[in-house]
A = this chain, B = another copy of it.
Protein backbone atom coordinates (compact mmCIF):
# COMPACT_ATOMS: atom_id res chain seq x y z
CA UNK A 1 0.00 0.00 0.00
CA UNK A 2 2.91 2.22 -0.86
CA UNK A 3 0.62 4.83 -2.35
CA UNK A 4 -1.64 5.02 0.69
CA UNK A 5 -1.03 6.98 3.85
CA UNK A 6 -2.81 6.92 7.21
CA UNK A 7 -4.57 4.51 9.53
CA UNK A 8 -8.20 5.56 9.92
CA UNK A 9 -8.20 8.49 7.55
CA UNK A 10 -6.25 7.31 4.54
CA UNK A 11 -5.09 9.02 1.41
CA UNK A 12 -4.49 6.89 -1.67
CA UNK A 13 -2.64 8.80 -4.35
CA UNK A 14 -2.58 8.04 -8.06
CA UNK A 15 -1.67 9.73 -11.29
CA UNK A 16 1.28 11.02 -13.26
CA UNK A 17 2.17 14.48 -14.46
CA UNK A 18 1.46 13.62 -18.08
CA UNK A 19 -1.56 11.34 -17.80
CA UNK A 20 -5.13 12.61 -18.07
CA UNK A 21 -5.45 13.46 -14.36
CA UNK A 22 -3.83 13.21 -10.99
CA UNK A 23 -6.06 12.23 -8.12
CA UNK A 24 -6.57 10.83 -4.67
CA UNK A 25 -9.03 8.77 -2.68
CA UNK A 26 -9.64 10.01 0.84
CA UNK A 27 -11.16 7.20 2.89
CA UNK A 28 -12.29 7.14 6.49
CA UNK A 29 -13.60 10.66 6.90
CA UNK A 30 -16.61 10.56 9.20
CA UNK A 31 -19.98 11.17 7.60
CA UNK A 32 -21.65 14.53 7.87
CA UNK A 33 -18.56 16.72 7.45
CA UNK A 34 -19.20 19.82 5.35
CA UNK A 35 -17.19 19.68 2.13
CA UNK A 36 -16.28 23.25 1.25
CA UNK A 37 -15.41 23.29 -2.44
CA UNK A 38 -14.30 26.91 -2.37
CA UNK A 39 -11.84 26.12 0.39
CA UNK A 40 -10.44 23.23 -1.61
CA UNK A 41 -9.98 25.45 -4.65
CA UNK A 42 -8.34 28.13 -2.55
CA UNK A 43 -5.75 25.67 -1.30
CA UNK A 44 -5.15 24.39 -4.82
CA UNK A 45 -4.60 27.95 -5.98
CA UNK A 46 -1.91 28.40 -3.33
CA UNK A 47 -0.06 25.43 -4.80
CA UNK A 48 -0.59 25.93 -8.52
CA UNK A 49 2.20 26.96 -10.88
CA UNK A 50 2.25 30.39 -12.43
CA UNK A 51 0.86 32.12 -9.36
CA UNK A 52 3.69 34.65 -9.15
CA UNK A 53 6.75 35.92 -10.95
CA UNK A 54 9.01 33.52 -9.08
CA UNK A 55 7.09 30.31 -9.69
CA UNK A 56 7.05 28.13 -12.78
CA UNK A 57 5.38 29.88 -15.72
CA UNK A 58 3.37 26.74 -16.48
CA UNK A 59 -0.33 27.48 -16.39
CA UNK A 60 -2.40 24.75 -14.78
CA UNK A 61 -5.90 25.70 -13.79
CA UNK A 62 -5.97 22.91 -11.22
CA UNK A 63 -9.72 22.61 -11.26
CA UNK A 64 -10.87 19.57 -9.31
CA UNK A 65 -13.82 17.22 -9.53
CA UNK A 66 -15.23 15.17 -6.67
CA UNK A 67 -16.25 11.78 -8.02
CA UNK A 68 -17.67 10.14 -4.93
CA UNK A 69 -18.36 10.22 -1.22
CA UNK A 70 -20.19 13.54 -1.04
CA UNK A 71 -23.98 13.90 -1.07
CA UNK A 72 -25.77 17.20 -0.80
CA UNK A 73 -22.56 18.97 0.28
CA UNK A 74 -21.59 16.59 3.05
CA UNK A 75 -19.37 13.57 3.40
CA UNK A 76 -21.31 10.28 3.47
CA UNK A 77 -18.64 8.11 5.08
CA UNK A 78 -17.83 6.61 1.66
CA UNK A 79 -14.43 7.21 0.07
CA UNK A 80 -14.00 10.62 -1.54
CA UNK A 81 -12.28 10.47 -4.92
CA UNK A 82 -10.88 13.74 -6.21
CA UNK A 83 -9.65 14.17 -9.78
CA UNK A 84 -7.54 17.06 -11.04
CA UNK A 85 -7.12 17.03 -14.83
CA UNK A 86 -3.72 17.72 -16.31
CA UNK A 87 -4.34 20.46 -18.84
CA UNK A 88 -0.99 21.93 -19.66
CA UNK A 89 1.37 19.06 -20.26
CA UNK A 90 4.01 19.52 -22.88
CA UNK A 91 5.37 16.03 -23.23
CA UNK A 92 7.64 17.17 -26.04
CA UNK A 93 9.55 19.25 -23.48
CA UNK A 94 10.76 15.99 -22.05
CA UNK A 95 11.60 14.00 -25.17
CA UNK A 96 15.28 14.87 -24.86
CA UNK A 97 15.33 13.53 -21.30
CA UNK A 98 14.38 10.02 -22.38
CA UNK A 99 17.96 8.81 -22.21
CA UNK A 100 19.18 11.14 -19.47
CA UNK A 101 19.31 10.55 -15.73
CA UNK A 102 18.71 14.00 -14.30
CA UNK A 103 20.68 14.51 -11.06
CA UNK A 104 18.55 14.68 -7.93
CA UNK A 105 15.57 13.18 -9.75
CA UNK A 106 14.14 9.67 -9.59
CA UNK A 107 15.06 8.90 -13.19
CA UNK A 108 17.94 6.54 -12.48
CA UNK A 109 16.34 4.68 -9.59
CA UNK A 110 12.99 4.24 -11.36
CA UNK A 111 14.73 2.76 -14.38
CA UNK A 112 16.71 0.39 -12.22
CA UNK A 113 13.82 -0.58 -9.96
CA UNK A 114 10.97 -0.85 -12.41
CA UNK A 115 12.75 -1.45 -15.70
CA UNK A 116 10.25 0.94 -17.29
CA UNK A 117 9.87 4.69 -16.82
CA UNK A 118 7.43 7.35 -17.89
CA UNK A 119 10.07 9.96 -18.59
CA UNK A 120 7.60 12.73 -19.32
CA UNK A 121 7.95 15.33 -16.60
CA UNK A 122 8.93 12.93 -13.89
CA UNK A 123 5.81 10.83 -14.39
CA UNK A 124 4.87 9.38 -11.05
CA UNK A 125 7.71 11.17 -9.27
CA UNK A 126 6.47 14.58 -10.36
CA UNK A 127 5.50 17.04 -7.67
CA UNK A 128 2.34 17.58 -9.69
CA UNK A 129 0.74 14.66 -7.88
CA UNK A 130 0.77 16.68 -4.68
CA UNK A 131 -2.11 18.74 -6.07
CA UNK A 132 -4.45 15.94 -5.06
CA UNK A 133 -2.88 15.81 -1.60
CA UNK A 134 -3.60 19.49 -1.19
CA UNK A 135 -7.25 18.97 -2.12
CA UNK A 136 -7.58 16.09 0.34
CA UNK A 137 -5.71 18.05 2.97
CA UNK A 138 -8.16 20.92 2.58
CA UNK A 139 -10.93 18.53 3.60
CA UNK A 140 -8.90 17.33 6.58
CA UNK A 141 -8.30 20.93 7.58
CA UNK A 142 -12.02 21.68 7.51
CA UNK A 143 -12.67 18.67 9.67
CA UNK A 144 -10.06 19.76 12.22
CA UNK A 145 -11.28 23.33 12.29
CA UNK A 146 -14.89 22.29 12.71
CA UNK A 147 -14.14 19.73 15.39
CA UNK A 148 -11.29 21.22 17.44
CA UNK A 149 -10.87 24.77 16.17
CA UNK A 150 -7.43 23.46 15.31
CA UNK A 151 -5.31 25.54 12.94
CA UNK A 152 -2.32 24.57 10.82
CA UNK A 153 0.06 27.17 9.41
CA UNK A 154 3.24 26.85 7.40
CA UNK A 155 5.59 29.64 6.43
CA UNK A 156 8.85 29.94 4.55
CA UNK A 157 11.36 30.79 7.26
CA UNK A 158 14.55 30.44 5.26
CA UNK A 159 15.66 30.55 1.63
CA UNK A 160 19.29 29.99 0.77
CA UNK A 161 21.31 32.09 3.25
CA UNK A 162 18.43 34.39 4.17
CA UNK A 163 16.64 33.25 7.26
CA UNK A 164 14.31 34.42 9.99
CA UNK A 165 16.02 34.49 13.35
CA UNK A 166 13.50 32.65 15.37
CA UNK A 167 10.45 31.84 13.32
CA UNK A 168 8.36 30.29 16.10
CA UNK A 169 8.69 33.49 18.17
CA UNK A 170 7.66 35.71 15.29
CA UNK A 171 4.37 37.33 16.26
CA UNK A 172 2.33 37.50 13.09
CA UNK A 173 2.39 34.43 10.92
CA UNK A 174 -0.71 35.61 9.04
CA UNK A 175 1.47 38.03 7.08
CA UNK A 176 3.00 35.14 5.24
CA UNK A 177 0.18 34.98 2.74
CA UNK A 178 0.72 38.63 1.78
CA UNK A 179 3.86 38.09 -0.26
CA UNK A 180 4.98 35.69 -2.95
CA UNK A 181 7.58 33.86 -0.87
CA UNK A 182 5.18 33.28 2.03
CA UNK A 183 7.57 34.59 4.68
CA UNK A 184 5.77 36.62 7.36
CA UNK A 185 8.66 39.03 7.97
CA UNK A 186 8.36 41.66 5.26
CA UNK A 187 12.03 42.57 5.25
CA UNK A 188 13.25 39.02 5.09
CA UNK A 189 10.65 38.30 2.43
CA UNK A 190 11.98 41.10 0.26
CA UNK A 191 15.51 39.72 0.50
CA UNK A 192 14.26 36.23 -0.28
CA UNK A 193 12.47 37.46 -3.40
CA UNK A 194 15.65 39.15 -4.60
CA UNK A 195 17.65 35.99 -4.01
CA UNK A 196 15.17 33.85 -5.92
CA UNK A 197 15.06 36.30 -8.82
CA UNK A 198 18.83 36.32 -8.91
CA UNK A 199 18.92 32.53 -8.98
CA UNK A 200 16.31 32.53 -11.75
CA UNK A 201 18.46 34.89 -13.79
CA UNK A 202 21.46 32.61 -13.27
CA UNK A 203 19.43 29.54 -14.27
CA UNK A 204 20.06 28.19 -10.79
CA UNK A 205 17.77 27.22 -7.91
CA UNK A 206 17.58 27.70 -4.13
CA UNK A 207 16.60 25.53 -1.17
CA UNK A 208 15.23 26.59 2.17
CA UNK A 209 13.20 25.77 5.26
CA UNK A 210 9.47 25.67 5.90
CA UNK A 211 8.32 26.11 9.50
CA UNK A 212 4.96 24.73 10.56
CA UNK A 213 2.90 25.15 13.66
CA UNK A 214 -0.32 23.55 14.80
CA UNK A 215 -2.47 25.62 17.13
CA UNK A 216 -5.14 24.22 19.46
CA UNK A 217 -4.12 20.61 19.11
CA UNK A 218 -5.71 18.73 22.02
CA UNK A 219 -3.48 16.84 24.43
CA UNK A 220 -3.28 13.16 23.58
CA UNK A 221 -2.85 12.83 19.83
CA UNK A 222 -0.18 10.29 18.87
CA UNK A 223 0.13 6.57 19.42
CA UNK A 224 3.16 5.17 21.13
CA UNK A 225 5.22 3.24 20.27
CA UNK A 226 5.72 3.36 16.55
CA UNK A 227 2.99 5.74 15.52
CA UNK A 228 4.25 8.64 17.60
CA UNK A 229 2.83 11.90 16.33
CA UNK A 230 6.30 13.25 15.49
CA UNK A 231 7.24 9.99 13.73
CA UNK A 232 4.10 10.13 11.62
CA UNK A 233 4.56 13.80 10.78
CA UNK A 234 8.18 13.15 9.85
CA UNK A 235 7.16 10.32 7.55
CA UNK A 236 4.58 12.57 5.91
CA UNK A 237 7.12 15.35 5.44
CA UNK A 238 9.68 13.05 3.84
CA UNK A 239 6.98 12.04 1.38
CA UNK A 240 7.36 15.51 -0.12
CA UNK A 241 9.97 15.61 -2.87
CA UNK A 242 13.18 17.47 -2.01
CA UNK A 243 12.71 17.33 1.77
CA UNK A 244 16.06 16.37 3.32
CA UNK A 245 15.54 17.08 7.01
CA UNK A 246 12.85 17.32 9.69
CA UNK A 247 13.19 18.62 13.24
CA UNK A 248 10.74 19.25 16.07
CA UNK A 249 10.99 22.08 18.59
CA UNK A 250 14.65 22.97 19.07
CA UNK A 251 15.55 20.03 16.87
CA UNK A 252 19.21 19.81 15.96
CA UNK A 253 19.92 22.75 18.26
CA UNK A 254 18.83 20.71 21.28
CA UNK A 255 21.69 18.31 20.57
CA UNK A 256 24.06 21.12 21.55
CA UNK A 257 22.39 21.79 24.90
CA UNK A 258 22.54 20.46 28.43
CA UNK A 259 19.48 18.88 29.98
CA UNK A 260 19.17 21.74 32.42
CA UNK A 261 18.97 24.13 29.46
CA UNK A 262 16.76 22.03 27.22
CA UNK A 263 14.10 20.74 29.61
CA UNK A 264 10.91 22.73 29.33
CA UNK A 265 10.02 24.71 32.45
CA UNK A 266 6.46 24.86 33.79
CA UNK A 267 6.08 28.17 31.96
CA UNK A 268 3.39 27.81 29.29
CA UNK A 269 5.61 29.42 26.70
CA UNK A 270 8.51 27.06 27.23
CA UNK A 271 8.24 24.77 24.21
CA UNK A 272 11.64 23.31 23.41
CA UNK A 273 9.99 19.96 22.76
CA UNK A 274 7.83 21.49 20.01
CA UNK A 275 4.49 20.45 21.45
CA UNK A 276 5.07 16.70 21.40
CA UNK A 277 6.46 14.69 24.30
CA UNK A 278 6.83 10.93 24.32
CA UNK A 279 5.28 10.97 20.87
CA UNK A 280 2.02 12.53 22.08
CA UNK A 281 0.75 16.08 21.68
CA UNK A 282 1.18 17.91 24.99
CA UNK A 283 -1.25 20.77 24.45
CA UNK A 284 1.32 23.37 23.39
CA UNK A 285 1.81 24.48 19.82
CA UNK A 286 3.25 21.74 17.66
CA UNK A 287 6.30 23.25 15.95
CA UNK A 288 8.59 21.75 13.36
CA UNK A 289 10.93 22.66 10.51
CA UNK A 290 11.56 20.88 7.25
CA UNK A 291 14.58 21.45 5.03
CA UNK A 292 14.27 21.45 1.24
CA UNK A 293 17.22 20.96 -1.02
CA UNK A 294 17.28 23.35 -4.00
CA UNK A 295 15.21 22.27 -7.02
CA UNK A 296 17.25 19.77 -8.99
CA UNK A 297 16.19 21.04 -12.42
CA UNK A 298 18.45 23.93 -13.36
CA UNK A 299 19.32 25.41 -16.72
CA UNK A 300 22.96 25.91 -15.77
CA UNK A 301 24.95 23.27 -17.57
CA UNK A 302 25.82 20.23 -15.51
CA UNK A 303 27.51 16.90 -16.08
CA UNK A 304 25.06 14.00 -15.96
CA UNK A 305 24.89 10.28 -16.66
CA UNK A 306 22.80 8.93 -19.49
CA UNK A 307 21.13 5.54 -19.81
CA UNK A 308 24.24 4.18 -21.51
CA UNK A 309 26.25 5.10 -18.42
CA UNK A 310 28.11 7.84 -20.25
CA UNK A 311 28.61 11.41 -19.09
CA UNK A 312 26.74 14.14 -20.97
CA UNK A 313 26.31 17.86 -20.53
CA UNK A 314 22.76 18.88 -19.70
CA UNK A 315 20.97 22.20 -19.42
CA UNK A 316 17.34 21.69 -18.40
CA UNK A 317 15.11 24.03 -20.35
CA UNK A 318 11.64 23.19 -18.92
CA UNK A 319 9.42 25.68 -17.08
CA UNK A 320 10.77 25.01 -13.60
CA UNK A 321 10.57 26.81 -10.29
CA UNK A 322 13.77 28.39 -9.08
CA UNK A 323 12.58 27.96 -5.52
CA UNK A 324 9.80 25.54 -4.73
CA UNK A 325 9.21 26.55 -1.12
CA UNK A 326 6.38 29.07 -1.54
CA UNK A 327 4.36 26.48 -3.46
CA UNK A 328 5.32 23.76 -0.96
CA UNK A 329 3.69 25.67 1.91
CA UNK A 330 0.16 24.39 1.20
CA UNK A 331 1.53 20.88 0.58
CA UNK A 332 3.18 20.90 3.98
CA UNK A 333 -0.01 22.10 5.61
CA UNK A 334 -2.05 19.47 3.77
CA UNK A 335 0.12 16.57 4.86
CA UNK A 336 0.16 17.91 8.40
CA UNK A 337 -3.63 18.13 8.37
CA UNK A 338 -3.97 14.56 7.12
CA UNK A 339 -1.70 13.25 9.88
CA UNK A 340 -3.37 15.21 12.65
CA UNK A 341 -6.89 14.32 11.49
CA UNK A 342 -5.93 10.64 11.29
CA UNK A 343 -4.64 10.78 14.84
CA UNK A 344 -7.72 12.65 16.03
CA UNK A 345 -9.74 9.68 14.80
CA UNK A 346 -7.30 7.14 16.24
CA UNK A 347 -7.60 8.92 19.55
CA UNK A 348 -11.39 8.67 19.78
CA UNK A 349 -11.15 5.82 22.23
CA UNK A 350 -9.47 8.14 24.69
CA UNK A 351 -11.57 11.16 24.00
CA UNK A 352 -13.16 10.91 27.41
CA UNK A 353 -9.75 11.35 29.00
CA UNK A 354 -8.52 14.25 26.89
CA UNK A 355 -8.48 17.71 28.34
Contact = CB atoms under 8 A, between A and B. Distances in A.
A262 B74 CA distance: 35
A170 interface: no
Contact of A32 (B72, B115, B209): B115
B67 A20 contact: yes
A205 interface: yes
Given A106-B279, A244-B247, A252-B244, A116 B293 contact: no
Interface residues of A, number: 143
Given A115-B31, A123-B71, A160 B207 contact: no
B25 A25 contact: yes
A319 interface: no
Contacts of A353: 31, 112-115
A62 interface: no
A1 B3 contact: no
A77 B303 CA distance: 29
A276 to B, nearest CB: 8
Nearest to A300: B260
Contact of A294 (B231, B258, B280, B296): B258
A334 interface: no
A231 B238 contact: yes
Interface of A: 1-5, 7-8, 10-16, 19-23, 25, 27-28, 30-32, 65, 67-69, 71-72, 74-81, 83, 103-106, 108-110, 112-118, 123-125, 129, 158, 160-161, 199, 204-209, 219-220, 222-228, 230-232, 234-239, 241, 244-252, 254-266, 272-274, 277-283, 291-298, 300, 302-305, 311, 345-350, 352-355
